Each structure stands twice: as C-alpha cells, then as structure tokens.
C-alpha cells in the first residue's frame, strides 16, 4: 500500500488497523475540547511524526491509519479535518487548515468491474511550509503543494501547485504568483 502498489481494500490486517484507529479517534473526538493535553498525547501516538507541541486539530478529526501522517511545527486544523492516509501525507511547518478540508490518497479504478474487486492503490500527498488551505478544500491523491501557498475555499486540488502562489477553483489553478 505504502509503495503505491495495488492492494486489497478488504484485507483483514488492514481492516483491523482501520478499526484500531477508529477506536483511538472515538476517544479523541469524545474528549472535552479543553483537554488539549490528552488530545495531543493521542495524536502524537497516532501520527508518524509531529513537529512540536504547538499544534491543534479541532474535533472532530478523522483519518484511516494516522501513522502515515506527518505534521510540522505550529500546525493547525479546524473542525472536520479528514485524511485518508493509505499513502503518506506530509504537511510542513506553519500550515493552517480550514474547516471541512479533506485529503485523499486512496485511488480507485474508473472501470466498474475493477472497482468492485476492492483493489485499489494509493498516492502520497505533500504540503509544504507556510500553507493556508481554506475551508471545504479537497486535495486528491498524488498532489504536491509547495511552500508559501494559499488554496482558496472550496477548491478541488487535482494537480501540483507550485510554491509562492495563490490557487483557487475546481479544478484548482494558480491565479497569482507571490
């Protein structure tokens, strides 16, 4: 899965890992919002990497595995942040994520017969430093977003966005270089 090869989405081992993550996230999302200490402990244990203790992810938060997620220093994500991390999701320092943002790494065939076989693959997502992602943005598999980027609210990011730019729309495209 992490190598980008085709895998079975109904593999029993993967299903157990998904359920274990859901149990952890159930605890996280049920905590009082003031219990930021415990919230940080849970996410630090779940994620593959956390840059420092100056991060906050507002509840509710959802992901598939957690261990493929890496966040940099001073990270913030607002309500309803969803990460389908079948591949690695790397987010740099000083990134701000608006509400209802989704990052997807899982890929499915457009052929119905192939799709119904539950075979899929995953492509990593990388987000640079100093990035602001507006509310209700969707980032699709395989996308790289450079440093110093703003992604406008409601955008669907289907291709790489270069550093030092502002990008908006569906599909998301650069409207201005900084």
| Residue 100, burial from CB neighbour count under 10 angstroms (0-12, 13-18, 19+) | middle
Give the 3-state secondary structure of 117-130: CCEEEECCEEECCC
Among all residues, which ones are annotated catalytic? 108
Q: How many separate helices (H) and strands (E) can be counted in the chain?
A: 3, 20
Phi, psi of 139 (to 5 degrees): -115, 120
Residue 71 · residue 47 · CB < 8 Å: yes
**Which residue, chain included where needed, has tokens 């409601």?**
154
Task: Tally the C-alpha atoms within 13 A of residue 79's C-alpha that lie toward its C-beta.
Answer: 1
């Amino acid at each position: 899965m992490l190598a980008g090869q085709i895998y079975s989405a109904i593999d029993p081992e993967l299903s157990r890992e998904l359920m274990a993550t859901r149990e952890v996230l159930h605890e996280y999302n049920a905590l009082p919002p003031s219990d930021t200490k415990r919230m940080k402990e849970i996410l630090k244990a779940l994620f593959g990497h956390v840059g420092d203790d100056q991060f906050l992810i507002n509840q509710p938060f959802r992901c598939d595995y957690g261990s493929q997620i890496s966040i940099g220093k001073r990270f913030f994500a607002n309500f309803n942040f969803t990460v389908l991390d079948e591949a690695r999701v790397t987010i740099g320092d000083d990134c701000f994520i608006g509400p209802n943002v989704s990052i997807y790494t899982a890929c499915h065939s457009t052929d119905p017969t192939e799709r119904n076989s539950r075979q899929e693959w995953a492509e990593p997502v990388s987000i640079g430093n100093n990035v602001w992602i507006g509310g209700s943005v969707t980032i699709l598999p395989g996308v790289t977003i450079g440093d110093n980027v703003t992604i406008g609210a409601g955008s669907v990011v289907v291709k790489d966005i270069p550093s030092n730019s502002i990008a908006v729309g569906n599909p998301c495209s650069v409207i201005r270089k900084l």
